[in-house]
Amino acid sequence: MRFFLSLSLCLSFLTAWAQPTQSLAPRLRRNSVVTQEGSTLTLQEAISAALDKSYQIRIFKSQEQIARTDFKTAKASFFPFVTGNLTNNNNLQNLRQEFLDGLRPPQNLYGITNRNTQVGLGVNWMVFNGFGNFITYDRLGEVVKISEANTRASIETTVADVATAYYDVIRQLQQLLSLRQALDISRERLELARTNFEVGTRSRADFLTAQVDYNADSSALVTQQQNVRNSKIFLNTLLVRDPATEFAVRDTIIVRTDISLDQLRQSLGANNPQLIAASLNRRVADLNVRLARSTRLPVVNVVGGYNFTAINNQGGFGVRSARNDALVYGVQASVPIFTGFNQRRLIANAQTSALITEYQESDQRLQLQQALEQTYSQYRNNLILVNLELESFKIANQNVDIAFERYRVGNSTPVEFRDVQRNAVAAETRLINAEFNAKVAEIELLRLSSQILQQTK
């Protein structure tokens, strides 16, 4: 009996030793190639496609074009308005007349036509309206600048969104690779557990546990494949193309480590389009106050015109025909004396609106500064986390090799190996997320400081 037991143990040991002894580290090496379908899409190609096709950018550019058109046509208020008038009145009538004096015979006239034609040319030139036309012209010029700032903000936001979505695809692919590597390990463990169970050195419970863990890793892989698909669909949507378009991306995330907070602060204050738009809105509000005050001043118009009148009367009474022409010119002036305190109300409301825009500008500046400080803090912390998680990942990788070897020769339990395997996957996931979060913070810093168009890589 002891002989057969010893023989069984020897066979089990030899079978286990005969299994491949290659290190698992190559399977867990970072930045391994992931098989992807479709042509390779670079970040610059993605950004160019989004800038060319984005509906939001097109909307803002169209609004900017409207503002430019209004600004150009505002010059018309400095020139006189000329109008032409034509009036042609015709009267067709029948006359039956009997006279009281009895001396004249009755008169019957049929189809009598009376025609009155009037042609005129009028000129109205507003030479003074409290400088309202100058203020309006300046105001429309500021509106054009606001539209330009809004367009630039939309462009920078689009670039940031595309870059973030692009790196999210990379993150999801890296996590997919990690889960594939974990599944490979679980497959080897399952085969080893099956072999050991068949030769009688391991229990059926160990084999079933390995099967359950393999199924769990397979399920996680399927879920992650859907995450990759979702991230690609979202990026395709940002690029305004068929969401089902297949493409490949590079499989690394390179995070910059040389971003200076002082330069970011300076660039935000000088270049951020949201802050520029807030400042321009305050300027427009100040012009609205001046425009409201201008209504208190007189309005002076120079008017002129030429009228020609032709009369053709076939009725035989009064004037039978006439031709009249006249040149009209003069000056009109009006001064608002009392408008039911409406002017005072308009001026007070304009002043309050100007105060509101001043508060809004200050609040916008404060909010942007807060976002910059918080994002930079997150950026620095994520850089620290990348280094820490990289070290943890290396250690966890080594532990997997050691634990698998111990499990293969029967010196550790399935539970112990599974814990080591989970720790390795969790360490790589944390490293991937730390790199992605650092890159997202970098992108947001460049957007807030309005440097993203020059420095997005």
The domain that holds 201 is classified in CATH as 1.20.1600.10
Task: Let me know if residue 43 belongs to a domain.
Answer: yes
Written as one string, the DSSP assignment of 2-53 is: HHHHHHHHHHHHHHHHTS----SGGGG-TT------S-B--HHHHHHHHHHH
Task: Let me know if residue 185 belongs to a domain.
Answer: yes
pLDDT score, position 244: 94
Return d(Cα 392, Cα 418) in angstroms, integer.
17
Task: Let me know if residue 306 belongs to a domain.
Answer: yes
pLDDT score, position 380: 96
pLDDT score, position 242: 95
pLDDT score, position 23: 33
Q: What angle do CA 229, 38, 186 make, to 5 degrees?
A: 55
Residue carrying the six token digits 């907070």? 261
pLDDT score, position 319: 66
Task: Let me know if residue 108 belongs to a domain.
Answer: no
In this structure, the dihedral spanned by the alpha carbons of residues 268, 274, 279 and 283, taken in order and rounded to 10 degrees, is 160
pLDDT score, position 10: 34
- pTM for the complete prediction? 0.82
Amino acid symbol at 267: S
Number of domains present in the structure of the chain? 1
Task: Let me know if residue 2 belongs to a domain.
Answer: no
The boundaries of the domain holding residue 419 are 22-85+128-455
Q: CA-based Rg of the chain, rounded to a whole angstrom?
A: 42
Task: Let me know if residue 369 belongs to a domain.
Answer: yes
Cβ atoms within 10 Å, residue 20: 6
Kindly tell me the burial class for residue 194, based on how many C-beta atoms sit within 10 Å of its own C-beta (0-12, 13-18, 19 or more).
middle
Amino acid symbol at 452: I
Return d(Cα 3, Cα 126) in angstroms, integer.
121
Task: Let me know if residue 280 belongs to a domain.
Answer: yes
**Do 190 and 210 contact (CB within 8 A), yes or no?**
yes
Cβ atoms within 10 Å, residue 68: 16
Residue-by-residue pLDDT tens, the chain, 457 positions: 333 333 333 333 323 323 333 333 333 444 444 557 778 999 999 999 999 999 999 999 999 999 999 999 888 888 899 999 999 888 777 777 777 776 778 777 677 777 888 999 999 998 998 899 999 999 999 999 999 999 999 999 999 999 999 999 999 999 999 999 999 988 988 888 888 888 877 778 888 888 999 999 999 999 999 999 999 999 999 999 999 999 999 878 999 999 999 999 999 999 999 999 999 999 999 999 999 999 999 999 999 999 988 887 776 556 677 888 889 899 999 999 888 889 999 999 999 999 999 999 999 999 999 999 999 999 999 999 999 999 999 998 888 888 878 877 777 778 888 888 888 999 999 999 999 999 999 999 999 999 999 866 4
Written as one string, the DSSP assignment of 216-280 is: HHHHHHHHHHHHHHHHHHHHHHHTTS-TT---B--S---------HHHHHHHHHHH-HHHHHHHH
Return d(Cα 261, Cα 445) in angstroms, integer.
9
For 356, residues 6+ apart whose C-beta sits below 8 A from its C-beta are 285
Task: Let me know if residue 6 belongs to a domain.
Answer: no
C-alpha distances in Å from residue 437, one per residue of 253, 432, 434: 10, 9, 5
